[in-house]
Amino acid sequence: MIQEYTNGGEVARPVEPFDAKKPSKIKDAPWGIDVAGWNYESGTIVHFLADDKIFETLNYKLPFFLQQLKEYAYLTAGIKFEVVDRRTDQHFFYYFEGGIKTFLKSLNRSKIPLNQNIFYANKDFDNVNVEVALQYNDSFNENVLCFANHLKNNDGGTHLTGFRSALTRCINEYAKKSGYTKDGDGLSGDDLREGLTAIISVKLESETLQFEGQTKGKLGNSNVKTAVETVVKEALETFFEENPKDAKAIIEKNMLAMKARIAAKAARDTVIRKTALEGGGVLPGKLADCATKDPKRAELFIVEGDSAGGSAKQARDREIQAILPVFGKVLNTERARLDKVVDSEKFKSLIIAIGVGIGESYNAEKLRYNKIIIMTDADVDGAHIMTLNLTFFYRHLTDLITDGHVYVASPPLYKATWGKNKKYLFDDKEREKFLKTPEGKTAITQRFKGLGEMNADELWETTMNPTTRRLKLVSVESAAHADIVFSTLMGDEVAPRKRFIQTHAKQANIDF
């Protein structure tokens, strides 16, 4: 059956049998993208050709389509997907016979798995198909993806609630029975999240689906909670009995997390007692705070080093801009538990300055600055320091990123002067382009070695002035992809990082 739509409505036309050998109507169209099943006799073909009279832009974001179709291929094992970009004649194929188990392996590929056998359950309960895959790894972070009828639910919902309930009950029962814990000394839900990677996929009748909000980010069906909880608990009990080595590895990971949680709470309470928002405390000594008490207007610049911090303090707008100098490279929080993070003097100062707390004490209403701006030198060392700070925010203060509070400053790399004129160039491409212009051929180009080398006027004009600066908002479009990137580049495993470097070496902008 063929359906065709144009000008916002369906075209009335006789149904013609599909002929795979017949040329596509949009083969020569510059903006066409096809999404097709592999077997043209039994598959589905969808053609995209947006109407420029309706859409502002026809420049499709191909990565969005690829990510969507790749997830569909994972979630429907054995189905082959083909994406054809008619603009460039690129072809992409996705086929995963292992389904969500293969999906889970890809999420954990840069980590060391603890339970060598992947937990997997697929069963119908009360008209709900429940499919779950689970594996613990050596990291300190949780990565759980939820889907309902293939729609990703970034905010979770009843299927996530049921999963967590079953996981907590089953692990605590096994830990108590095996002598790991005693009465009144159970593992909390937070203890079970450290190093957990899981995929939860439920399928039910489309007309019964209930979501909270327009984005369908959170599933609301109450019966799904019971279905997932029942299926997961029953299957996990069997898994533990049949795989005692895997059960032991998981429980021992959970026990370490519990000890770290207790230590983190003690360290976090110390931080909270020192924060001015809790009353009677003082802000970090090196923080040059702004005058305004309105968080919506306030900005916090995190600056590396005393020299750059000094320039930034002179350049800033004291009414709305605060400066926190942090000397040297901070802790790599990809490789550290929360107790180590809050015990780090550099992050302790930052946590106190931001004001929202961390971990269980996080409170978005106590945010002291609407914009938190990481400002580092425009060189390799600066990029490294920026990455370490971004790792901290992504792993421990993720909500600040998702709520749009974290930014990266863009200081210039060069300053070109000719006569009484000057121009700031922010990267090598801008410099090369400028040098080809008539004035560029006579200009003297100076490279900034760091923020501290810029005088206050230059730093204000190029990097801090809200009307002229370039700020990059930090966002996470795909949490799963971001988790893989951070684990690959910042984790303990060397092999994935080596492969990444070898693959992308030719794309590197090397700073000599």
Torsion sign, CA atoms 441, 444, 447, 451: negative
User: What is the Cα 16 distance to its own chain's centre?
Assistant: 45
What is the CATH number that goes with domain 282-411+450-476?
Answer: 3.40.50.670
CA 290, CA 357: separation in Å to the nearest integer?
A: 20
Asked whether the beta carbons of 91 and 82 are under 8 A apart, the reply is yes
Find, among 426, 367, 365, the residue nearest to 393 by Cα: 367
Percent of the chain with pLDDT strictly greater than 90: 48
| C-beta pairs of 363-367 under 8 Å, 24+ apart in sequence | 364/399, 364/403, 366/277, 367/295, 367/400, 367/405
CA 312, CA 303: separation in Å to the nearest integer?
A: 8
Is the model's pLDDT at 124 over the cut of 50?
A: yes
CA torsion angle 216 220 221 222 (round to 10): 170
What integer pLDDT is reported at residue 39 of this predicted model?
A: 47
Asked whether the beta carbons of 315 and 461 are under 8 A apart, the reply is no
Q: What are phi and psi of 341, to 5 degrees?
A: -65, -50
Q: How many Cβ atoms from other residues are within 10 Å of residue 310's Cβ?
A: 17
Is the backbone of residue 158 left (phi > 0), alpha (psi -120 to 50) or beta?
alpha
CA 324, CA 301: separation in Å to the nearest integer?
A: 6
pLDDT digits (tens, 9 = 90+) for 434-490: 999 998 889 999 998 788 888 899 999 999 999 999 999 998 765 566 666 666 666
Helix, strand, or coil (residue 207): helix
What is the CATH number that goes with domain 100-261?
Answer: 3.30.230.10
Is the model's pLDDT at 120 over the cut of 80?
A: yes
Pull the structure tokens for residue 153: 């639910």
Q: How many Cβ atoms from other residues are within 10 Å of residue 263's Cβ?
A: 16
Asked whether the beta carbons of 442 and 436 are under 8 A apart, the reply is no
User: What is the Cα 225 distance to its own chain's centre?
Assistant: 26
Mean pLDDT over residues 324-334, rounded?
83
CA 372, CA 359: separation in Å to the nearest integer?
A: 18
CA 352, CA 283: separation in Å to the nearest integer?
A: 7
What integer pLDDT is reported at residue 309 of this predicted model?
A: 87
Mean pLDDT over residues 212-225, rounded?
88
CA 488, CA 139: separation in Å to the nearest integer?
A: 11
- Output the CA–CA distances (angstroms, integers) from residue 259 to 38, 264, 374, in the order listed: 51, 9, 32
Q: Which residues contact 366 (CB under 8 A, 6 or more apart)?
A: 277, 355, 356, 357
Give me the residue spans of the domains in the chain. 5-94, 100-261, 282-411+450-476, 414-447
pTM over 0.75: no
Q: Which residues contact 469 (CB under 8 A, 6 or more apart)?
A: 409, 410, 462, 463
Q: How many Cβ atoms from other residues are within 10 Å of residue 49's Cβ?
A: 16
Q: What are phi and psi of 421, to 5 degrees?
A: -100, 155
The 3-state secondary structure of 117-129 reads CCEEEEEEECCEE
- Output the CA–CA distances (angstroms, integers) from residue 257 to 107, 142, 254, 392, in the order listed: 21, 12, 5, 18
Mean pLDDT over residues 291-302, rounded?
95
By annotation, the residues acting in catalysis are 304, 377, 379, 381
Q: How many Cβ atoms from other residues are within 10 Å of residue 84's Cβ?
A: 19
> Would 100-261 and 282-411+450-476 be classified into the same CATH topology?
no
CA 180, CA 172: separation in Å to the nearest integer?
A: 9
Report the helix count and the strand count for the chain, using DSSP H and E: 15, 21
pLDDT digits (tens, 9 = 90+) for 133-172: 999 998 888 999 999 999 999 899 999 999 999 999 999 9
pLDDT digits (tens, 9 = 90+) for 66-79: 888 899 999 999 88
CA 487, CA 111: separation in Å to the nearest integer?
A: 7
pLDDT confidence tier of residue 342, bands split at 50, 70 and 90: confident
CA 75, CA 147: separation in Å to the nearest integer?
A: 9
Is the model's pLDDT at 494 over the cut of 80?
A: no
Neighbouring-strand partners of residue 416: 423, 445
Buried b (16+ CB within 10 A) or exposed e, 105-125: bebbebbebbbeebbbbbeeb
Asked whether the beta carbons of 146 and 200 are under 8 A apart, the reply is yes
pLDDT confidence tier of residue 491, bands split at 50, 70 and 90: low
Mean pLDDT over residues 295-318, rounded?
91
